[in-house]
Chains A and B, each alone.
Chain A
Amino acid sequence: MKRHTLSILGASVLTSLVLSGCNRDRGTEPEPTAAVSTRNHLVWKRYHAVEQDLSRALELAPDELCTELGRFRCVDEVHLAGLGGHDPFRQGLYEPLSDPLATTSLALERVALSACGTRVERDRTDPVVFTALALDEPAPAADSEAFTKTAQTLYRRLLSRDPEDSEQQALADLLVDDEGERLSSAEFAHLACFAVATTTEFSFI
């Protein structure tokens, strides 16, 4: 009896998943290949974790990641609240906010853009992250080992996994501009690093 009930339940869940998928107007989006979480328990990666993760991934000291106007620290000063921090001493904000702010995504973009740019510039003379790229040369081809290795490096360093084929294909769009002209390797590196470091996968634990 119990087994029968579970079978019905399983079929029911499967049916509702299929139906919910059918109900979504996803246009030309690819069909999902991963199961949808029923718990959705995500933890917002806040300012200190963002700083530490970017620092580790790009091998930059925390204070080298981002500075606004050359004077103000991005993570624990200008964008502290946006990056989920609390500030008991200056603002009497004793507890971190439960939800991201309107400007959270923009704050993360600024920090990531700055940190990725710094890493690219450093790698021109002392390669650490973008070791497969000749940064002063045009970006490599999408089927090159240099591209594959760079994508893999970014995913391993920032997301602690290898990229899926579909993700590599998406990143290949950053090798060329809108007219199909090849970007420089440095531009590709900067943009690819920015794109991966600002995904929601990076933003949550």
Chain B
Amino acid sequence: MIHLRHSRRRFLTGLGGALGATAAGTSLLGARARADGAEPEPVDPADRRLLFVVGALGGASIIDSFLPVSTDEISDPDAAASLNAYAPEQLVQPTGSNIRCVRPLGETAFLTSDYSIQDFLEAHYADMTIVTQEGTSVNHGVAQKRAMTGAGIDRGRTIAEAVAERYGLGLPLANCNMANGGYVEPGDDRGLAGYARSEIIASPMTYAMATHGSRGLVGAPPLGRIEQARAVREQLEEVSPFGQTYREAPLRERVLQMRREVAPQLEQLDAITKLMLMSPDDLSPEYGLEGSPLHDELRNAFPGLREDNWQQQGALAFALAYYGMTAASTISLSFSPAFVGDEIVGAPLAFDFSHSLHRPAQNVMWGRVLKVVDGLVNLLKRYDYLGDPSMGKMWDRSLIYIATDFGRDKVRPAGNPYFGTGHHLNNGTLLLSPLLQGNRVFGGVDPDTLLTYGFDGRTGEDRPDTLMREGEIYSLIAQAMDIDFSGRRDMSAVLA
């Protein structure tokens, strides 16, 4: 649990030290003045919370992972053969776990996985929270965005934007988004503070290069000369007819603000080194760059770091948080297939390959998602926030939200283990955080329909007549992250 602690040293540490004072001023950074006219102040790093949104793109089905139904639980044996229920021996519930899952399937066609749902449950059941849910769209893009915005429950802002606005003032990259499709779309609240808008990252492997204006460019003048040219540029901005005519243009002001406040902050933090995911072996000396000090640890946690964009996203999300640059990171699978050598480790269309081959796609893709989450959780549990033991482990302040588009059809051809499924609104969500009640399932599944039902957000009691919607999931995360907004649902029962 996070306790309020205030000290100037922690504050400066959280801002990377060098620019603490500058950032604390927060003359702009897109921050809106409070109603009482006072400048908003950065949250003390000791109180900061970290959100990681993991987009299980394509429709990750909860009844094929952590809320499976066994065929012998269905009252009508004939119906059992036509429902997407698993044979009892295909399910496993580790000792101590209140959650069960689907074992690795023996046959996954041409898809390959080196990590299983079972591996993950055995390692992390104590930190896992399953919440049932039914979405409101079976269109991928629409559903993805609603998973981020709670279907617009909070003025249209995404949960990552909300967390970034709450905790990101003074951080250079408060809200980083490496995701795909609806998960990478900005929210719709034009009143969001500028600093909380997402920083889109297309290539986590090379993103570090974007955090410095000149390092790594062969033939670039020395840094002192660059600063000299930047100072001249500032003069040009002041005296040019364009600069004078558009001196109050919001778009120009934003560029200048980022250039004058955020860019120097990133350079002084040495983000180009700290976020460099490339192996030192791959960086030719002529560029004068080094790999991240975390590189070896990142490679251990994410063995596919060198070639797998998905694992690179997980690695960069951790590094951004560890170095105190980011409050919210969003990562996701993509619809493109992923390969390791000749092996297909990421299905074409990710979870949506379920249209063709439901169970193998779900089983392999859940494993692929959970492998990165496993790496992330392990690092968060091992590292002190900002490298400062007095801050406690990063995990203590973290929440991981496995967002997905929707569920999948609940039926199958009688007795057939190989089938395709369409999109279905009904599903559930996995979250991991010490801020939530772990090793718990909230809501349940009707074994005769495989449809999930809801629960009372205040008491946690099952409510078979209720469905949880995107807004409830958003509210739950917001409440756990200590974010209030008009219309927030009370989800106190799920909080730790």
Contacts and interface: CB of A to CB of B under 8 A. Distances in A.
B470 to A, nearest CB: 19
B336 A90 contact: yes
Contact of A109 (B197, B214, B284): B214
A200 B241 CA distance: 11
A164 B245 CA distance: 14
A64 interface: no
B200 to A, nearest CB: 4
Interface in B240-272: 240-252, 254-256, 258-259, 262-263, 266-267
Contacts of A80: 202
A169 B258 CA distance: 26
Contact of B233 (A33, A94, A117, A199): A199
Interface residues of B, number: 73
A10 interface: no
B126 to A, nearest CB: 34
B225 A200 contact: no
A110 B272 CA distance: 13
Contact of A200 (B226, B228, B242): B242
Nearest to B214: A113
Interface in A18-54: 29-30, 32-37, 40, 42, 44
Interface residues of A, number: 70
B180 interface: yes
A91 B335 CA distance: 9
B248 A40 contact: yes
B459 interface: no
A70 interface: yes
Contacts of A91: 179-180, 184, 200, 202, 334
Contacts of B214: 109-110, 113
Nearest to A78: B206
A12 B258 CA distance: 34
The 9 closest A-B pairs by CB, nearest first: A92-B181, A109-B213, A40-B249, A105-B259, A170-B235, A166-B239, A201-B242, A34-B244, A81-B200
Interface of A: 29-30, 32-37, 40, 42, 44, 66, 68-70, 72, 77-82, 87, 90-94, 97-107, 109-110, 113-114, 117-118, 121, 159, 164, 166-167, 170-171, 173-174, 177-178, 183, 187, 190-192, 194-196, 198-201, 203-204
Interface of B: 141, 172-173, 179-182, 184, 186, 194, 197, 199-203, 206, 209-214, 216-221, 224-226, 228-233, 235-252, 254-256, 258-259, 262-263, 266-267, 278, 283-284, 287, 289, 334-336
